[in-house]
Amino acid sequence: MTLKEKIQEDLNRSVKEKKELESLVLRMLSAAVLNKEKEKRYKISKEKPDLKEEELAKESQLEDSEVIDLVSSETKKRRESIVEFEKGKREDLVEKEKKELEILQKYLPKQLSEEEIQRLVKEAIGKTGAKEMKDMGKVMQELASEIKGRADGSFVSKIVKDSLTS
């Protein structure tokens, strides 16, 4: 079962069980997946105009990794909203965003712990030979594939900065 199918199945279940917030979040996520597929389909149809309809539909399906990117993007939006709502002392909205974040995180791979991230950062610094802040891009590039969808990028970059400046 693909991640897209799992989201759709969970959406159907949450609607039947009358879980309003979960249904809302999963509808939003399904819509984001659909929009991304339409975008991909349009791009493919421009690149390969003689592709048959069935082949076009098949090629425009999102891979699980692309769905994970979408979910990551949505979780990042929630985290940013939480920070802003906390600044504005809007606890009601902070709670809503936290609940939405919790629902979205079910569709991400197991998140890395801070210790695991620090270990990966040390390995990446060793591989790239990075010694100062100007080497940060190399380190982040080295880490990109290992942390994708498994850790918050801004948190990882903070750890990389701390490692390079100490």
Rounded to an integer, the average pLDDT of 102-125 is 90
Q: Residues 95, 146: one domain?
A: no
pLDDT at 166 over 80: no
Give the pLDDT of residue 150.
Answer: 83
- pTM of the predicted model, to two decimals? 0.76
- Residue 105 and residue 95: Cα distance in Å, rounded? 15
Percent over 90 (pLDDT), the chain: 49
Q: Residues 89, 143: one domain?
A: no
- In the three-class reduction of DSSP (H, G, I as helix; E, B as strand; rest coil), residue 107 is classed as coil
CATH classification at residue 158:
1.10.10.410
Give the pLDDT of residue 148.
Answer: 80
Provide the number of structural domains found in the chain. 2
Q: Residues 70, 118: one domain?
A: no
Q: Residues 101, 123: one domain?
A: no
